[in-house]
Structure 1
Amino acid sequence: MNALSTEIAGHSMLAWPVVIFRITGAVILSSLIGFERESRDHAAGLRTHMLVGLAASCYCLLALDLVGRDFGDQVRLDPIRMIEAVTGGVAFLAAGLIVFTRGEVKGLTTGGSLWLVAAIGTAAGLGVWLIAVLATVLALFIVGVLKSLERSAE
């Protein structure tokens, strides 16, 4: 029974309140951008953006946990590979949203917002809150306020 309780408690190098805060923060920040996309009836909306931000945060937390473990001299860890994997995976997902029909490109902004949400989740997972919050605020300005300005200029 003791082994099971140790397994459930985990061996994370990060304190559980930090993990919970980072994951929750990633989901909240991602949901703000997802809500904007959802309110404009785009293909990838609230839930998709939240899941991408959550996944990116989880990958970062797992990478941080692995870096903190002692594997001896047999294993080399490169935390940059985690960021590359998140970037590549989400870029593939975002590219699937981009469609060219009737001479128009559709889904490009939503694909870009998914890619950005992955970066925001990565920043939150790593605890780099200035980047996570600033990127969220700027994204909301870009997809919300600038879109309104574009419409008024037409």
Structure 2
Amino acid sequence: METELSLLDILSRLGVATGLALAVGLERELRGKPAGLRSHMLVALGAAAFIIVGMEIMHTASDSSARIDPTRIVEGVIGGIGFLGAGTIIRSGASVQGITTGASIWLAGAIGIAAGVRQFPLAIMVTVLALIIVIVFGHFEREVIEKDSRR
């Protein structure tokens, strides 16, 4: 079967997506959140796979007049992942929990999409910024903002 991408290129895209999402998922896992390591890795892996499949469909389309729009694949992936992320959000009385985990799942999809189109620098930058947000600003939120609101 003829493909546009070599097996090594496909493996590297999937591996980068999975590995970067591992970092975000590990932070969620260590905090005991409902969606952790495996969930984030699977979301990024799936997003990358869908993008790669879309690229292969574009490559193998025999009719050059066929209207194949890769942005529609991205749109579908984002919608599906948004549904998964929404499942982690729980409202309990006046408080809402799981929004950061839902957002990190959505972000894992973005990491997977970036890796799937071989935008490794973008995927890495998104991962680093996400880790800064959830670790550094999470600590700031817990230590400064929540302590101040208890006074």
Q: Same fold (TM over 0.5)?
A: yes
**Equivalent in the alignment of 1:101:** 92
1:50 counterpart = 2:41: yes
Which of 60, 65, 71 matches 2:51?
60
Q: Which residue of 1 aligns with 2:7?
A: 16
Partner residue, 1:25: 16
1:28-55 deviation line (CA, Å, top 9, x unaligned): 0001000000000000000000000000
CA separation in 1, counterparts of 2:21 and 2:2? 28
The alignment status of 1:141 with 2:127, answered yes or no, reads no
Secondary structure in 1 aligned to 2:3?
Answer: coil
Q: Which runs of 5+ in 2 are unaligned?
A: none
Aligned-residue offset at 1:120: 0.4
Match status 1:81 vs 2:72 = yes
Aligned residue in 2 for 1:112: 103
Distance 1:108 1:63 in 2: 30
Distance in 1 (alpha carbons) for counterparts of 2:31 and 2:17: 22
TM-score calculated relative to the size of structure 1? 0.90
User: Number of residue pairs matched?
Assistant: 145
Deviates more, 1:93-102 or 1:20-29: 93-102
TM-score (norm 2): 0.92
Equivalent of 1:132 in 99, 123, 127: 123
Match of 1:4 in 2: none
Q: Which amino acid aligns with 1:72?
A: D
Identity of aligned residues (%): 39
SS in 2 for 1:105: strand
- Other-structure match for 1:69: 60
Question: Structure 1, unaligned stretches of length 5 or more?
Answer: 1-9
CA distance in 1, matches of 2:5, 2:58: 11
CA distance in 2, matches of 1:70, 1:97: 38
Deviation at 1:93, TM superposition (A): 0.8
